[in-house]
Amino acid sequence: QVQLVESGGGLVQPGGSLRLSCAASGDILSINAMVWYRQAPGKERELVAAITSGGSTNYADSVKGRFTISRDNAKNTVYLQMNSLKPEDTAVYYCHARIVRIGSYLASTYWGQGTQVTVSS
C-alpha cells in the first residue's frame, strides 16, 4: 500500500515561517510530479507549488518569492518552506503525487491526509 504523510503544520504569527514535509512510502517504483495544494474554509482547493522529478518548479502568484518547494528523490519526500507567512495563508495543506508501483506500467494518483496551517496574531 502506498501512503503520503504530511507533517510540519501548526500555529504561527504573521511574518513567521513553517516547513512542511510529505513522505511517500510503500512499493514505489517511481514518482512523477509532486504538488502542494491548500484549501481555506469556504473556498476551493488551489494549487500552491509543484515540482517535477527533474527539479523544475512552478508557484502560484500569491506565494511566489515567499515559498520554496523542493524534493529528495532518494527519500521520496517533498518539502514546502513557507516564509513571511500572512493570515491569508491559513488553510489545510495537502500533498499530491502520481506514483508508479513496482510491477505496474501505470501511474496512480495519491493524496496525503492534510496538515493545518494557521497564521494569526
- Summarised one tens digit per residue, pLDDT across range 37-84 is 999 999 999 999 999 988 999 999 999 999 999 999 889 999 999 999
Stretch 17-37: mean pLDDT, rounded?
95
What pLDDT sits at residue 23?
96
Helix, strand, or coil (residue 105):
coil
**Strands 10-12, 115-119: pairing kind:** parallel
Residue 1 pLDDT class (50, 70, 90 cuts): confident
Ramachandran sector of residue 84 (left: φ over 0; alpha: ψ -120 to 50; beta: rest):
left
Grid coordinates representing 21 are 514535509
What pLDDT sits at residue 97?
95
Cβ-based neighbours of 103, under 8 Å, separated by 6 or more: 27, 29
83-104 tens-digit pLDDT: 999 999 999 999 999 999 999 9
Distances (CA, A) of 54 to 13, 50, 69, 73: 34, 12, 13, 9
**Strands 10-12, 107-111: pairing kind:** unpaired
